[in-house]
Amino acid sequence: MITWYRTILILWRICFEKCRCLRQLWNTLFQRGNAMIRLSAYLVKILVFACFISLALPVHTQARPLVNTIRIDGAIDPAVELYISRSIQAAQENNAQALIILLDTPGGLLDSTRSIVKDFYEARIPIVVYVWPEGARAASAGAIITLASNIAAMSPGTNIGAAHPVSGTGGQMDPVMSRKVENDTAAFVRSIAARRHKPIDWADQVVRKSVSITDTEALKKGVIDIIAKDQADLAKQMDGRAVDTASGRMVIRSANARIEPISASLRERFLHAVDNPNITYILMLLAVYGLIFELSNPGAILPGVVGGISLIMALLSFAVLPINLAGFLLILFAVALFLIDLHVPTHGILTVGGIIAFAVGSLMLFESTDPAFRLSVVLVGTMAVMTALFFLFAVGAGVRAQKNPIVTGTEGMIGTVVEAKTDIDPTGKVFAEGSWWNARAEGEPIGKGECVRIVGNRKLTLIVRKESNSDQSNNRNP
């Protein structure tokens, strides 16, 4: 109000105090005219003032309610946790009627799921989880997140459930540890169901027996509240529903609402991409091999740059993914065995050991109770075979190189025929491989210009022997 009042005063002074022409006109009409002119002047003054008031005051209209949406497509990881937390804060600042989470996930990390559930409990606006589009699923961690929402909804043709914890490699966990994880997860899900007034028995079975149901079955059992064909239908159906939030009971007014998405930031999209265990695994291998090639061939530059960038990105992923230290050390041990086998003649024994350590370490690398964070067995097998072939080729090339005869230096000149440039009795000079060499005759003395064969080397002195005339034409060194 203070701003509009000051604006009106400024406009009034400009028009009636600062404008000389208007003041002269005012004096003429108001002070010197008759009563009718004065009345007209008053009316003009009131009309002008009213115009300024109508232009200055804001126009209040009935705004449509706002509903924000976000989309989660893929595994539940720390990047998704960050995105959901930020979106809840943004929707609260926007005074949105609700935040709709469009969900399609195979599962994810239990730690991230727990953090997301806490954010739901602390939200001051209704949180709606909508399993969308048709054919989508809310499996494992997705089922827990759906249960924790204020309103759970599904599209036709979707399913929910199968939240039984499994090992990160897909195999069986230790029986004692398996029971501990199962009981802990089941208690967590039952507490969510009790708070959100969902069937507790089904919540327990979804963990212990991995039950999974369709959208119509979920609605009949009370697992979800709405089946909606699209977002507009969902907004219409949840209008007028009362839910409990951190700020108290709230009635949702979403009929004819504006549906505005909250996009993931570049940082969140990047983290979600590199949090994929398969991508992290490839980045780690690129980092290892890039740095090995750079250290083996200083000045190559490109392998070092690629390896350095891959290392930083892999470390970023390691900071948020559940890494098994034993698996990581096995991979480093395998690389060390490969490098040692390149320089020590073990005939490939270390390479075989490295291949075994590499494969076992890769399968153990990520430690998670959800199959969404399981390394692809095909990827592990492919990389193990490629690594084995590379180092076997490198080791084989090294062994073959050791068996080849030396063809450079003084050893490489043995057996060649050259011409004596001086008398060699017993010492003299020969010209070989573009250089003058000291030579010592083996056997009878050698005259200048005769052809000799290099038969040895002793302290940079070539040992030569007179060549027979029959072999001179065939073996003479140019």
The residue whose two tokens read 């509903």 is 67
> Does the structure show a pLDDT above 90 at 407?
no
The contacts of residue 3 (CB under 8 Å, 6+ apart) are none
Confidence tier at 464 by pLDDT (50, 70, 90): confident
35, amino acid identity = A
The type of residue at 113 is T
Q: Binning pLDDT at 50, 70 and 90, where does residue 350 land?
A: confident
User: Any catalytic annotation for residue 140?
Assistant: yes
d(CA 332, CA 277): 17
Which helix (H) or strand (E) segment holds residue 455: the answer is strand 451-458
- Of 87, 140, 149, 310, the active-site residue reads 140
* Alpha-carbon span 223 to 434, nearest angstrom: 91
| DSSP 3-state of 98 | strand
Backbone angles phi, psi at 131, to 5 degrees: -75, 110
Phi–psi pair at 227, nearest 5 degrees: -115, 115
User: For all residues of the chain together, what is the average pLDDT?
Assistant: 81
Rounded CA-CA distance 265/470 in Å is 86
At 474, is the pLDDT very low, low, confident or very high (cuts 50, 70, 90)? very low
Give percent above pLDDT 70 in the chain. 76
The pTM score is 0.65
d(CA 265, CA 255): 29
Cis peptide before 199 (omega within 30 of 0): no
**Rounded Cα gap, residues 117 and 192, in angstroms:** 9
Catalytic residue from among 18, 45, 118, 180: 180
Q: Are 244 and 227 in contact (CB under 8 A)?
A: no
Judged against a pLDDT cut of 60, whether residue 151 lies above it is answered with yes
**Can you list the domains of the chain with their CATH numbers?**
2-56 (no CATH), 66-267 (3.90.226.10), 274-403 (no CATH), 409-470 (2.40.50.140)
pLDDT one-digit tens code per residue, 264-316: 999 899 888 887 888 888 888 888 888 777 776 777 788 888 888 988 888 87
Whether the per-residue pLDDT at 188 is higher than 90: the answer is: yes
Q: Please state, in angstroms and rounded to a whole number, the distance separating the CA atoms of residues 99 and 88.
A: 7
Q: What is the pLDDT of residue 88?
A: 97
- Band (pLDDT 50/70/90 cuts) for residue 409 is low
Active site residue 180: yes
SS (H, E, C) 217-238: HHHHHCCCCEECCCHHHHHHHC
Number of CB atoms found within 10 A of residue 454's CB: 22
If you search the block for the tokens 């115009």, which residue do you land on? 51
Between 427 and 254, residue with greater pLDDT? 254
Q: How many helices (H) and strands (E) does the chain have?
A: 18, 16
